[in-house]
Structure 1
Amino acid sequence: MNIVETSPRIAVLGAGRVGSALARVTVEAGYPVSVSASRGPDDLELIASVVMPGATPMWTADAIAAGDVVVLAIPLHRFPALDPALFADKIVVDGMNYWPPIDGRQEFFERGGAGSSEIVQDHLSSAHVVKTFNHLGYHEIEDDRRPVGDADRRALGVAGDDRRAVELVASIVDRIGFDPVTFTSLRDGRAFQPGEPAFGNLLTRPQFLELVPRRVAA
């Protein structure tokens, strides 16, 4: 895994509300950003110029290839069709959720109580999956940003099995305006899935650490 320490290129897969918001905040934070969707880059170009100014539309395979960090912000039902070979040795941020009352029951994500990001990691077996951004709404991605030191700065959980990948993603979370709370394994990301207390709650770092077991937080 090639870790880029300064400004990694971020590839956002998905141009819906979550993907668009993530593209905007990462561009504003100074990252080079590409974006892809089910439509081709020519169809996406006008939308991107208005909704995600500064982000470069690309075909999905090209965006993945060019990206140092690939963010999954696609509808969950589209995920199983992704080719795992495209993600070999990539850092992949899983911002998706499996929420049956909203998404309906999806057999691909029904695996004996495993967290949805663990299933993503199983499918993308050669990637380094990090779970974050999933436990806040698309509008909060922009509205809840705060500078370092702000007493109301919101905490985001960042969970993954690869320490260096977690640290890089945590640096992105910090740079765009949130306090990263890192976790020692992808399994720990279950603590901020739908139905868990941290999901959808605006929590400062001390509140997050109080709510989520300290034994997994760093």
Structure 2
Amino acid sequence: MRIGIIGAGHIGSTLARHFTRVGYDVAVSNSRGPRSLDGLVAELGPRAQALTPEEAARFGEVVVVSIPFGRWHELPSAELSRKVVIDTSNYLPERDGHERDLDQDTITSSQKIRAHTGGNVVKAFNALPWQDLRDGSRPKGAPDRLAVALSGSDEDGKAVVAGLVRDIGFDPVDAGNLGRGGRRHQPGTQVFGRKLPKDEMSEIFHAVRR
């Protein structure tokens, strides 16, 4: 599987390292241009290349969006249309600026990205601290294996992302659809910013649903 990554900050570069480690071909990109990623690509090895965001979106069968949410309107919508898009972003108004519909909770940030791109958006990798995403990979069945919450409105898209989560050493936990489910692992929720095993996260989501 080919994976495009738009945004090479903490989460984007960490995922690039995990994906190349387990054998996926990866194209990384950022707003500063491919040459700014020479060091990262050299570290990642022969399965990685640096491209523009538009090229990375075209390259990937799955595309990771790992940019500050406030720049969602810069995403290459034509290239992301109908792709499985993993949204790792969080709406932080003190950083991103206030957006009325999000402040009023009439829509989620991932739903806005889906509307803009036309992609099959799955929200994931947004709640676990990036250092734990970097260091927390464990073999299947390990007692200290961490959970990664995900939400999406298409079961096939969620299944693809869940498989990637497992491949890199974490347990996926389905929070639900992109609206109600996405609200279960956004900032301010019981799971956000916490290192949790699968059973504990699942129990929290079950309690929230009741």
User: Normalising to structure 1: TM-score of the pair?
Assistant: 0.87
| Structure 2 unaligned blocks of 5 or more | none
1:177 aligns with 2:169: yes
| Counterpart contact for 1:163–1:184, Cα < 8 Å | no
Structure 1 residue ranges, 4+ long, deviating more than 3 angstroms after superposition:
none
Query: Match for residue 49 of structure 1?
Result: 42
Please say which of residues 16-25 and 114-123 is displaced more in the overlay.
114-123
Within a 5 Å distance, the mapping from 1:21-170 to structure 2 comes to 21-50=14-43, 52-53=44-45, 54-101=47-94, 103-107=95-99, 110=102, 112-113=104-105, 114-124=107-117, 126-170=118-162
State the alpha-carbon separation in 2 of the partners of residues 165 and 200 from structure 1: 24
Is 2:194 the counterpart of 1:194? no
Query: Taking structure 1 as reference, are residues 76 and 186 closer, same or farther at Cα in structure 2, changes over 3 Å only?
Result: same
Shift of residue 43, structure 1, vs aligned partner: 3.3
In structure 2, distance between residues paired with 1:186 and 1:70: 17
Higher deviation after alignment, 71-80 or 127-136: 71-80
TM-score between both structures, scaled by the size of structure 2: 0.91
Q: Percent identity?
A: 36
Unpaired segments of 5 or more residues in structure 1? 1-7
Q: Secondary structure at the match of 1:157?
A: strand
| Coordinate RMSD, CA, aligned | 1.8
- Matched residues, number: 206
State how far apart, in whole Å, the 1-side matches of 2:22 and 2:101 are.
33
CA distance in 2, matches of 1:152, 1:90: 33
Write the distance in 2 (CA, Å) between the matches of 1:38 and 1:210: 39
